[in-house]
Structure 1
Amino acid sequence: MSSAHHASGQHLLADLHGVAPSVLQDGAALEALMREAAQRAGAHILFSHLHSFGPQAGVTGVLLLAESHISIHTWPESGFAALDIFMCGAAQPGLALDFLCQALQAQQVQTRTVARGDGSAV
């Protein structure tokens, strides 16, 4: 019987439009939301790093997970955030995405889902 890890997971890409600029400029608040999203999804946080590009500018950051990652890139001047949520194992990335969309109060959300490591060609 093999004990090898089966490499598969779900990768969600989301474009959030109509988000308040003040929310998209606050790195500390975004990090707290990303951490809450990971916990709600059943993921295990290893490390996080967010970088602010200055007052009234965007933020970029990543939450490194045992199951993979959540990343965000924001453009407050456009009310836009790009989210990347990849999780494998028993974690549920959809729960993280739902929480973040709701918490950021996005007016419009476009998502793409990519199955990773399942052996199928895209």
Structure 2
Amino acid sequence: MQTFGRHLLMEYQGCDREILDNPEQLEQLMRSAAEAAQATVVAAVFHSFTPCGTSGVLVLQESHLSIHTWPEVGYAAMDFYTCGECDPFAGHLVMCEGLRPEIHEIMDVDRGNIDRPHSLDITDHRIEGRRPRPFAAGGQR
């Protein structure tokens, strides 16, 4: 059985705040991202918080796509885990187009490499839109 998967951790800052607080728009955008990644949606759950914010997940035949938003600061955290022939990076591009972040950060992690000493392998980590702040003493930003 194939255990390999690709997991993107995505940070979006400076996003359209109205979209971040609209679960219907987020679900449609995420469904478009899943389609672009060639993933199959099997279920969706979204929840709105008071006074603002949304959490949502698409359960995929190939794994999952989730989001948590903080519209008051224009921030969204996303998680896109796929196995098989999916391309989660294609979904990330759809999310960038829809959320219009000023800054996005993405970490690309290979998972399930069980025939290797470490099953997790970070293959890429980048920030686009501005230069990262340097680390301060003690590893704090």
- 2:30 is the counterpart of 1:37: no
The structural deviation recorded for 1:62 is 0.2
| 2:85 corresponds to 1:90 | yes
> Counterparts in 2 of 1:102-113, with a 5 A limit?
102-113=97-108
CA distance in 1, matches of 2:95, 2:16: 13
Equivalent position SS for 1:102: helix
SS in 2 for 1:114: strand
- Which has the greater radius of gyration? 2
Partner of 2:65: 70
Deviation at 1:54, TM superposition (A): 3.2
Structure 1 runs (4+) greater than 4 angstroms displaced: none
Aligned twin of 1:19: 15
Report the AA paired with residue 77 of structure 1. Answer: E
**Under a length normalisation based on structure 1, what TM-score does the superposition of the two structures give?**
0.92
Superposition TM-score, scaled by structure 2 size:
0.80
**Which structure ranks higher in relative contact order (CA pairs < 8 Å, sequence separation ≥ 6)?**
1
- Structure 2 segments unaligned to the other structure (5+ residues): 121-141
Number of corresponding residues: 117
Q: Residue in 2 aligned with 1:79?
A: 74
SS at match of 2:90: helix
